[in-house]
Amino acid sequence: MARSALIAIGGNSLIRVGQRGTIEEQLANAQDTARKITQLVADGWRIVITHGNGPQVGAALLRSERAAGEAYTHPLDVCVATTQSEIGCMLQRGLECELKRAGFYMPVISILTQVRVDPDEPAFTKPTKPIGPFYTKKAADEKIRNLHWTMVEDSARGYRRVVPSPEPLEILQLEVIRQILELGIIVIALGGGGIPVVVGEDHSITGVEAVIDKDRASSLLATGLGLDSFVISTDVDQVYLNYKQPNQRGVKRATAEWMEHYLHQGQFAAGSMGPKIEAAISFIRKGGRDVFVTSGDQMIEAIHGKAGTQITSRQDHEENL
């Protein structure tokens, strides 16, 4: 039976260090990512793709703000929706091209995906997720006064808006994604962690000003679909202990229990690797087989055990640093 995997593509896969982030650059990077995913399809894997949208949603907010005098503005949840379509289009184009070049006439579809959150969660009273551009103190004070934004200072670059990052509770399009996957179609979904919404008792759906962590939401989707593996593409080649310290050590293979031990010791930063490890542990605890954490360039090698970090459910699996 074919193995199945959810591949969570990091934001750095489409806009790389040193790039301006032009559409041409993003299309070329999407094509490169598609080439690697096509190799997995050739090996018989069933694939679901999710992706980040950090730079793109920041640009969407900036465009909306600067055009406010001439066009209607977009709230954050609509910006997430537009970037899901934008990035999904680029990945879908790249995949359709690479699959046909490799002799696979397999459909690819992008799905706008909404994720239910709890409006009473404490995250809504303590926004922590930075989004959008940097502002001067004067401009930041105006945003606080006129738009009631929460702003935080970055001593080197100015002030930036922060929004809540609530836990994903339910993926509203889960069953649609499952049915499409069962038809042998490659699915691109849950961009940017999903469009955050609140579902009312009358079944109304309302978007909220928040950003859902991509890897936590991807773990929830992979679990809901019953997939074998979860691939987390990030900007480092593997997970490290004592990261960027003189005694830094890479983790090649480990159980979820072992990773949880070091998570509780504070080894993985809350703003970077921490949520990825939490998402990995959750996936394994809920029945997943393997999680692979690596850079986009080494994704294929990681799945074949030649690079990256493999987190597994198998209790007899020997930890390897």
**Is residue 137 flagged as an active site residue?**
no
214 is catalytic: yes
Catalytic residue among 12, 29, 132, 308: 12
Helix axes 174-182, 214-225, angle to 10 degrees: 60
User: Of 10, 11, 132, 308, which is the active-site residue?
Assistant: 11
Q: Token pair for residue 235?
A: 């900007």
Q: Is 12 a catalytic residue?
A: yes
Choosing from 53, 58, 191, 214, which is the catalytic residue?
Answer: 214
Q: Tell me the residue ranges of DSSP E strands in 97-211.
A: 108-111, 114-116, 129-135, 150-154, 158-163, 170-171, 186-189, 195-199, 205-207
What long-range pairs does 25-32 form, CB within 8 A, spacing at least 24?
26/87, 26/90, 27/90, 27/93, 27/94, 30/87, 30/90, 30/91, 30/93, 30/94, 31/94, 31/97, 31/98, 32/94
Which stretches does DSSP call E strand in 128-167?
129-135, 150-154, 158-163
Cα separation, 258 vs 139, whole angstroms: 46
DSSP assigned state of 90: H
244 is catalytic: no
Is the distance from CB of 13 to CB of 232 less than 8 angstroms? Answer: no
Candidate list 276, 288, 296, 308, residue with the active-site label: 276
Q: Which of 54, 196, 208, 181 is nearest to 107 (CA)?
A: 181
Catalytic residue among 129, 132, 192, 193: 129
Quick check: is 11 catalytic? Answer: yes
**Residues acting as catalytic residues:** 11-12, 129, 214, 276
